[in-house]
Amino acid sequence: MSKEAAARVRLEVVPSADLLSQLPLALGAPGSVSVTCLPHHGPARTVEASINLALLGYHTVPHLAARSITSQAELHSLLRQLQGAGVSELFLVAGDRRTPAGPYSWSGQLLEAVKAYSPEFSLGIAGYPEGHPELSQEQLMSSLRAKAPMASSLVTQMCFSAQAISRYLHAIRKNDVMLPVWVGVPGPVSIKKLVSMGARLGVGRSIKLARGTGMARALRRRGDFNYDSAQLIRQVHHELAGDPLFAGFHVYTFNDLSRLPGLVDSLPTQQPSTLPQRVAAHTLFPAKI
């Protein structure tokens, strides 16, 4: 993979047992890797994997899910461990637990708690180009405006429509949210695996509710057994090239890493424009807000 391609792509991975051996085959250090925090794993597993990747030289962005953190003491312990490994960027979400395990019920509370502990962390928040099954567009935008001053970037929920992504960047700009945006796109994956992983990871509900969206149209295509991620990426790049909010691509891999080298190497050669990260304070998963 070229250095230019690596600079504008971030891979989202699940902290699986074979991650440390499989990831270098798809992306070498110092590539950028975002590590999920699933309810049945908990934050400790995410932090452990993130530290191990950081020690291998990767730029690692662990997810911390507010509803999975049991106490302020646990949060501080996790942050100390990450700081000790040189991890400086986090992605903060509410998480998919139905009830909080501790004092944090949404990502805004977690943003405030992390900034109070150390303002040195760069913090990413989630965006929803095609909406959220449980929140109105007004609620989503109000939440985004409240969190944006504490954040340094935004990662969009996985989306299958370049036009929807373009409209979303226009909408957040109108609302004075000027964060660098990592556009969430699927990696090369079979439709069968996309649906099965969606059910396992809590995405089945959003697929069912996504009638009329780019995701639904992609899943309904007859005879299309593999999703063409490269085509979507070209379409997104055509829509957003030169947009100062466009930071790069956040690729949801489903840990299907063997298919990724060809996709990453085929990224458009033009480097997207980026805004300087604002350090005032970097999905597919419906509860992540």
Q: Which domains does the chain have, with CATH numbers?
A: 3-265 (3.20.20.220)
How many other C-beta atoms are found inside a 10 Å radius of the C-beta of residue 184? 25
Name the pLDDT band for 226 (thresholds 50, 70, 90): low
Mean pLDDT of 254-281: 61
pLDDT computed for residue 203 by the predictor: 42
- How many Å apart are CA 234 and CA 47, to the nearest integer? 33
pLDDT computed for residue 221 by the predictor: 55
Peptide bond into 286 cis (omega under 30): no
The mean pLDDT value of the chain amounts to: 83
The CA-CA-CA angle for residues 231, 235, 241, to 5°, reads 135
pLDDT computed for residue 120 by the predictor: 95
pLDDT computed for residue 285 by the predictor: 34
> Exposed (0-12), middle (13-18) or buried (19+): which is 77, by Cβ within 10 Å?
middle
For 2, 63, 73, 150, 151, the CA distances from 114, given in Å and listed in that order, are 34, 13, 12, 10, 11
Judged against a pLDDT cut of 50, whether residue 146 lies above it is answered with yes
> What ranges make up the beta strands (E) of the chain?
9-13, 32-35, 59-65, 89-93, 122-127, 153-156, 181-186, 189-190, 226-227, 246-252
- How many Å apart are CA 227 and CA 187, to the nearest integer? 8
C-alpha dihedral (131, 134, 136, 140), degrees to nearest 10: -70
Instruction: Quote the percentage of the chain above a pLDDT of 90.
Output: 56
Amino acid at site 67: R
Name the pLDDT band for 80 (thresholds 50, 70, 90): very high
pLDDT computed for residue 256 by the predictor: 85
- How many Å apart are CA 281 and CA 151, to the nearest integer? 6
Q: Which of 53, 104, 125 is nearest to 82 (CA)?
A: 53
